[in-house]
Amino acid sequence: MHPALQSLKARFAELDDLRRTVSVLHWDMSTHMPQDGTGSRGRMIAAVEKIAHEKLIEPAVGELLETASGLPAATLAAEDRAFLRLAQRQFARASKIPPAFKAEFLHHMTETYDVWVHARKANDFNAVAPFLEKTVMYSRAVSDYFNSGETAWVHPMDPHIEDADPGMTTAGLRTLFAALRRELVPLVKELSSREQPRTDFLSRVYSKPRQMEFLNWLARHLGYDFNRGRQDLTYHPFMTKLGAGDVRITTRVDETNLCDGLFSTIHESGHAFYELGIAPGLEGTILGYGVSAGIHESQSRLWENLVGRSREFWTYFYPHLQAHFADALQDVSLDEFHRGINRVQPSLIRTEADEVTYNLHVMIRFDLEAQLLEGSLKAKDLPAAWNDRYESDLGVRPASDAQGCLQDVHWFYGSVGGMFQGYTIGNLFSAQCFDAALKAHPDIPEAISRGDFSTLHAWLKENIYRHGSSLFPQELIRQLTGQDLSPAPFLAYLGRKYS
Indicate the annotated binding residues for Zn(2+): 267, 271, 297
Q: Return phi, psi of residue 371, to 5°.
A: -65, -35
Strands 239-243, 246-251: parallel, antiparallel or unpaired by DSSP?
antiparallel
CA distance 179 to 157: 20
CA distance 405 to 138: 19
The residues annotated as belonging to the active site are: 268
* Distances from the Cα of 89 to the Cα of 57, 64, 93, 467, 469, angstroms: 12, 14, 6, 18, 12
CA distance 251 to 245: 20
CA distance 94 to 109: 18
Q: Cite the DSSP H helix spans in 223-287.
A: 258-276
* Distances from the Cα of 48 to the Cα of 62, 97, 148, 425, angstroms: 21, 16, 26, 32
How many other CB atoms are there within 10 angstroms of residue 455's CB atom? 16
Maximum distance among all alpha carbons in the chain? 70
What SS3 class is residue 233?
Answer: strand
Nearest to 489 by CA among 433, 445, 442: 433
DSSP 334-352: HHHHHHHHT-----S-GGG
DSSP 2-31: -HHHHHHHHHHHHHHHHHHHHHHHHHHHHH
Q: Are 303 and 267 in contact (CB under 8 A)?
A: yes
CA distance 488 to 52: 42
CA 165 distance to own-chain centroid? 11
CA distance 136 to 112: 12
233: left (phi over 0), alpha (psi -120 to 50) or beta: beta
How many other CB atoms are there within 10 angstroms of residue 496's CB atom? 8
* Distances from the Cα of 391 to the Cα of 123, 384, 445, angstroms: 19, 11, 38
Q: Which amino acid is at 326?
A: A
